[in-house]
Copies of this chain bind each other. A is one copy, B any other.
Amino acid sequence: MSENAGNSKAKRPTLTPMLSVRNGAKAVDFYQAAFGATVLFRIDEGGTIALLSVEGAEFWIAGESPQNQNFSPETLNGSTVRLILTVDDPDAVFDRAMAAGATEVWPVEDKNYGWRVGRIADPFGHHWEIGKPLK
């Protein structure tokens, strides 16, 4: 991590999820293709660690290290945190992620709790809910 990494939104506190994956380099490629993510910071020595930004919505990816209690969803056969990605056009973002190799959990649809949202699993086993509040 660089001095500024993870902190580009300036005002503290900030909370940024760090996703454990089996292959960090492949994950960077996927999130660039699926979400148009940009790479704010990256190191590849000893396993890829990268800070990605989807137009300011930031997350880390890091190679798993079970010896350090960092487990990928593939290793645990499930994930313990969902990523709620709120965007202006959930349908478009969902479709782009699917085209990049995500798996549909349920499609984008209007929910009775006032959101239009769909859910995908990415190729690394992390789950994303892509949606927006209905006006």
> Is A84 in contact with B13, judged by CB distance below 8 angstroms?
no
Interface residue tally of chain A, by bracket? 35 or more
Per-residue CB contact flags for chain A residues 66-80 toward chain B (1 = under 8 Å, else 0) read: 100111110111111
Per-residue CB contact flags for chain A residues 87-103 toward chain B (1 = under 8 Å, else 0) read: 11000000000000000
CA distance A2 to B14 in the complex (A): 22
CA distance A7 to B60 in the complex (A): 21
Distance in Å: Cβ of A12 to nearest Cβ of chain B: 5
For residue A3, which residues in chain B have a CB less than 8 angstroms away from its CB? 114, 133-135
In the complex where A2-B114, A7-B86 touch, is A71 in contact with B80 (Cβ < 8 A)?
A: yes
For residue A11, which residues in chain B have a CB less than 8 angstroms away from its CB? 56
Distance in Å: Cβ of A125 to nearest Cβ of chain B: 7
CA distance A2 to B134 in the complex (A): 10
Chain A residues 36 to 87 lying within 8 A of chain B, measured CB to CB, are 54-60, 62, 66, 69-73, 75-87
> Is A84 in contact with B133, judged by CB distance below 8 angstroms?
no
16 A-B Cβ contacts within 8 A? A2-B114, A3-B133, A4-B133, A11-B56, A12-B132, A16-B83, A16-B84, A20-B81, A69-B78, A69-B127, A71-B78, A72-B80, A73-B80, A76-B76, A76-B80, A81-B83
